[in-house]
Amino acid sequence: MFDALEMSLEVMQQIAPIEGRIRRQSLGLAKQLARAAESVSLNLAEGRLRRDGDQRRHYQMAAGSASELTTALRIARIRRYISDADYAAIDAPLDRVRAILYRLTH
């Protein structure tokens, strides 16, 4: 099992219920959030089967998408599309994904 991928999928599961609430308030933000979350998981999945620099490039793209996802969630919280509790519940596993990606890219 690849922990980073499993954690990224857990993040996606936690985002699913709040994505609709965000979508009702800001379609653009909801789409960006969904794309970023998908990109994290997809790049992790592809990267783990690659080698050398190509593998690292996929992990770097996943890290960039994780950063984008974090910012989208922060915007949703600031605009009160989601609660502080919603944000905290997603940020905990997302923080773990970011930490794993940091180790994979540095």
User: What single string gives the DSSP state of each residue in the chain?
Assistant: --HHHHHHHHHHHHHHHHHHHHHHH-HHHHHHHHHHHHHHHHHHHHHTTS-HHHHHHHHHHHHHHHHHHHHHHHHHHHTTSS-HHHHHHHHHHHHHHHHHHHHHH-
Largest CA distance in the chain: 42
Over range 16-20, report the average pLDDT.
95
* Residue spans per domain, the chain: 3-105
Is residue 1 pLDDT above 80, yes or no? no
Per-residue pLDDT tens for 68-102? Answer: 999 999 999 999 999 999 999 999 999 999 999 99
| pLDDT in the model for residue 68 | 98
Q: Is the dihedral of CA 37, 39, 45, 48 positive or negative?
A: negative
| pLDDT in the model for residue 26 | 98
Give CATH superfamily name and number for 3-105: 23S rRNA-intervening sequence (1.20.1440.60)
Per-residue pLDDT tens for 21-42? Answer: 999 999 999 999 999 999 999 9
